[in-house]
Amino acid sequence: MKLAYIGLGTMGAPMAANLLKAGYNLTVYNRTRNKEISLVNKGAKHANSPKEAAIAADVVFTNLSDSADVAEVVLGNTGVIYGMKAGSILIDLSTISPKTTKHIAQELAKKDIEMLDAPVSGGSEGAINATLSIMVGGKADILEKALPLLQVMGKSITLVGPIGSGQITKAINQTILAGTYNSVAEGIVLGLAAGIDIKAALNAVSGGAAASWVLDNRAENMINDNYPLGFKTSLYKKDLGIALETAKELGVAMPVAAYVEQLETSLVKRGYGDEDISNIARIVREQAGIE
Ligand code: NAP
């Protein structure tokens, strides 16, 4: 089986490396060409354009930043659509809008090319250790063909529905996180303002109904007012934008997600876009006058 992988960023590079490690024949392409070097040194071939990478591939992976980037790499002048053969599969691992996903799938279908949308969660650690959760939209028989490949990159692979459903699921994930991060930050700042032993307090509540992954894994950042990655604020702002755009299209009001997206916008504008998203506590602290 011949594979192509386009987009060797924080997520793409280690995920492509896992495919190579599993013995697959892999061609890579990255816009900034020197990011291909470490994979070529591990045995990958490299191509001069997305189209060239896709020629003769059975499966093409894209792992890019945002909706417009995936549209350009798939449908643009040197896009993979001009290299892919009928019957091959595009698997988009990026987090992008469900609307763009469906448009790309429709264009690919005109050439008998299949598509799965397969956004991931689990961060760069998950990409390196192949422990990602992958939320898949598309046809069951296409996923069945692609499953061994996804299992090389992730631990939990779930088909949630037709094309676009993976991206909707990722939007649900990011929406739930908005309220959780904000509420954990507010709770911690309440405790700091009261001057009680915040670690003892969190220990007391973390076994009860207020338990959460955010509380267990990101409270320390918020207490220390220090926000190492984690998950980048600039990417999260993008993801909440996708969730809110989708909500608007569907007529769903999401005031908490909208509020948190505004906070993320302010954090990015102030130069905190590369910090972990637990930095929402910066704003809650500032509002409470706690430095
Ligand atoms: P990243 O490190 O910024 O990498 C982005 C990749 O996309 C780079 O290879 C970049 O090429 C390429 N790219 C962007 N726009 C392009 C364009 N118009 N044409 C060609 N190539 C383009 O991002 P990442 O962290 O790997 O994230 C990739 C996707 O996974 C995003 O959708 C993100 O939301 C999602 N995700 C990320 C995480 C995480 O923890 N980082 C977790 C889950 C999901 P250059 O090298 O030339 O810039």
Q: Are 102 and 167 in contact (CB under 8 A)?
A: no
Cβ < 6 A, ligand 1 pocket: 7-12, 30-32, 35, 63-65, 69, 72-73, 94-95, 120-121, 123-124, 231, 235
Q: Residue 82: which pLDDT band, with cuts at 50, 70 and 90?
A: very high
DSSP state of 26: E
**Which pLDDT does position 197 carry in this prediction?**
98
Ligand 1 center to 10 CA (angstroms): 7
Domain with CATH 3.40.50.720 in the chain: 2-162
248-287 confidence digits (pLDDT tens)? 999 999 999 999 999 999 999 999 999 999 999 999 999 9
- The reported pTM is 0.96
Residue 166's closest CA among 68, 235, 92? 92
Given a cut of 90, is residue 59 above it in pLDDT? Answer: yes
- Kindly give the distance from the C-alpha atom of residue 201 to the centroid of ligand 1, in angstroms, as a whole number: 38
**pLDDT of 230:** 87
Instruction: Look at residues 1, 37, 7 and name the one whose alpha carbon lies nearest to residue 22.
Output: 1
Give ranges for CATH 1.10.1040.10 in the chain.
168-288
SS3 readout for 80-145: HHHCCCCCCEEEECCCCCHHHHHHHHHHHHCCCCEEEECCEECHHHHHHHCCEEEEEECCHHHHHH
Averaged pLDDT for residues 169-177:
97
The domain covering 168-288 belongs, at the CATH homologous superfamily level, to N-(1-d-carboxylethyl)-l-norvaline Dehydrogenase; domain 2 (1.10.1040.10)
Summarised one tens digit per residue, pLDDT across range 181-230 is 999 999 999 999 999 999 999 999 999 999 999 999 999 999 999 999 98
In the block, which residue shows the tokens 């700042």?
Answer: 189
Rounded CA Rg of the chain: 20
Q: Which two tokens stand for residue 130?
A: 């192949």
* Minimum CA distance residue for ligand 1 atom 21: 31
Mutate to test the pocket of ligand 1, among 31, 91, 264, 274 (most ligand atoms within 8 A of CB): 31
170 is catalytic: yes
Nearest CA among 3, 290, 289 for reference residue 146: 3
Instruction: Quote the ligand 1 centre to 163 CA distance (angstroms).
Output: 21
Q: pLDDT tens digits, residue range 225-256?
A: 999 998 999 999 999 999 999 999 999 999 99
Residues 250, 30: Cα–Cα separation, whole Å: 35
State the pLDDT at residue 238: 98
* Non-local CB neighbours of 141 within 8 Å, separated by 6+ positions: none
Going by alpha carbons, the residue nearest to atom 8 of ligand 1 is 9
Cα of 28 vs its chain's centroid, Å: 20
How close is the Cα of 94 to the center of ligand 1, in Å?
Answer: 7
Provide the pLDDT confidence category of residue 134 given band limits of 50, 70 and 90.
very high
* Assigned superfamily of 2-162: NAD(P)-binding Rossmann-like Domain (3.40.50.720)
Tell me whether strands 59-62 and 89-92 are parallel, antiparallel or unpaired: parallel
Contact between 23 and 110 under an 8 Å Cβ cutoff? The reply is no
* Burial group, residue 133, by CB count within 10 angstroms (0-12, 13-18, 19+): middle
Closest residue to atom 19 of ligand 1, CA basis: 69
Contact 257, 240 (CB under 8 A): yes
d(CA 38, CA 286): 43
> Do 214 and 181 meet the contact criterion of CB atoms below 8 Å apart?
yes
CB burial readout 153-180, b (16+ within 10 A) else e? bbeebebbeebbbbbbbbbebbbebbeb
